Amino acid sequence: MAEQTEALRGRERDRVLLVLLSALFFSLITVSIINVALPAIETGLNASAADLQWALTGYSLTFGVVLVAAGRAGDLLGRGRLFLAGVTLFGIASTVASLAPNALVLNLARAVMGVGAGLYNPQVSGLIQQHYRGAERARAFGLFGAVVGTAVAIGPVIGGLLLGSLPSWLGWRMTLGINIPLALLAVILGWRWLPREGRTVRRQHTTDHGSAAPAADNGSDPQGSMPHPHHDLDPFGAVLLGVAVLFVMLPFMVAAENPLAWWALPTGLVVLGIWLLWEHNYARRGHEPMVNLAMFRIRTFSLGAAMITAFFAGTTTIWVLIALFVQNGLGRSALVAGLIGMPSALLSIYSAPLGGRLVVRWGRKIVVFGLLCNLTGLALTAWVSTFVANGAGVWLLALSTLPLGFGAGWINSPNQVLSLRDVPVANGGTAAGIMQTGQRIATAVGTAAVTGLFFQQVAHGYAHALRMGYALIASFVIVALVIALADLAADSRARTADTSPVLSDNERATVRRVVDEDTH
């Protein structure tokens, strides 16, 4: 008997997607909006350089630490419940942060905001994986990618508008306070619209023959797809992985202020090795580990996760360098720096849903094309920066970055579809948590490496520093391109031989069953 999962239909499906993507949007804006608010926070709270460093990194750090455990908990306990709990915690912590009387309270509140965001973000991908099928799933992940691209680019714009239109003491507080009504609305609508345990919703169950059977109105679990005999959360494994992620990310975030933090990196890698051994032995003893390591033998998932990790290591600093170049190098305002990214963000809004539709036909080719567009945008922007530094119009940067926005739309959402397509629905939240954890670690590593190189090269001019930073970003994107090409080649070989070079016969049967379900 195949796994039973329910697909939402019509208006109900659109409502659920609205709630999920709205919450995703404000969790990602929180990452980038703080960049333009740091000078006002420094003045308003008399914050030290270390305080500002933690204001910048504390949210991302706790966000990354809880992702995999949160995805696992959602798979077992109910994704709707974890989503609502995470958004609620995020909203409460945002309220505290916006009213913070000093830097310590601000940084603690932002750390709790990261926990809340880490709790609910894996549920977004998990619920899309669970409740959407075939082309509808591709469309949902297309909109997912559009939200990611827009949130990253528009965060500094919103921050610049708030800081420019409000008194300085209020402007930076509103960059945090803007989350409060958004989180409240997401909780209210989520409580009404999200399928949860014990709620009666219109749904169809997909059988192993692909036919739709009416759901029994018996209060059964609408969250889970695969029944679990008990809720084996593997708490020790969750703690080990959380500590490992914390120690790996920490030095990249704070070593500039405290070089001794680099000692945390080897410690984190050792703890990660211990976690892998624990998970393996935990499964051998008949328990259900937090992460089924066999998931990494699914080629589409493992290569897709590796590709997006390499991509995030570079591209998350693209707009940071633009902001530094425009504000510090050219003496323009934070608002101008933010507005330069708007055309690229708007193009991403268009290209991401388009990529989500085309990925059904083109597969991994569309990701390869998106990466090539990204490399083109990096080269074009590095070239244009020389002319801008010599007096050409700053808005030339808005044109040169257009391929970055278009390319990102054809990378993020199609890769999400391709990476999760062969993962059993019951493990969708865990898989999403693994991918997002990789992205958070990559963001920390890439930001430290790229901004470190940028500041080393500033003595030779901001345009030169931008070019050097973009060269390093391009190297990460090239690694992502090599991985995507390897996956594409493996797909071609698998189609030719009608077999998978990675999966066993039993694993291939499982994948085919899940794919057959999704196509009906």
Query: What pLDDT shows up at residue 412?
Result: 84
Residue 277 structure tokens: 């051994």
**Shortest CA distance to 352 belongs to which of 413, 276, 308?**
413
- The answer on pLDDT for 223 being more than 80 is no
CB 445 within 8 A of CB 57: no
Residue of 356, 400, 394, 368 lying closest to 382 (CA atoms): 400
pLDDT for 252 beyond 70: yes
Q: What is the mean pLDDT of residues 130-141?
A: 82
Confidence of residue 203 (pLDDT cuts 50, 70, 90): very low
- Quote the percentage of the chain above a pLDDT of 90: 39
Position 58 scores a pLDDT of 85
Distance CA 320, CA 32 (A): 9
- What pLDDT is stored for residue 214 in this prediction? 34
Q: Pick the most confident of 33-42, 192-201, 476-485.
A: 476-485
Q: How far, CA to CA in Å, does 365 sit from each of 39, 372, 414, 487?
A: 43, 11, 10, 10
Render pLDDT for 25-64 as a digit per residue (tens, 0 to 9).
Answer: 999 899 878 877 887 898 899 988 778 878 878 898 899 8
| Mean pLDDT lowest among 17-31, 117-131, 216-230, 344-358 | 216-230
**pTM of the full structure:** 0.76
Average pLDDT of the residues in 392-421 = 90
Whether 230 has a pLDDT exceeding 60, the answer reads no
Confidence check: pLDDT of 100 > 90: yes
The residue ranking higher by pLDDT, 197 or 422, is 422
Q: What is the pLDDT of residue 485?
A: 95
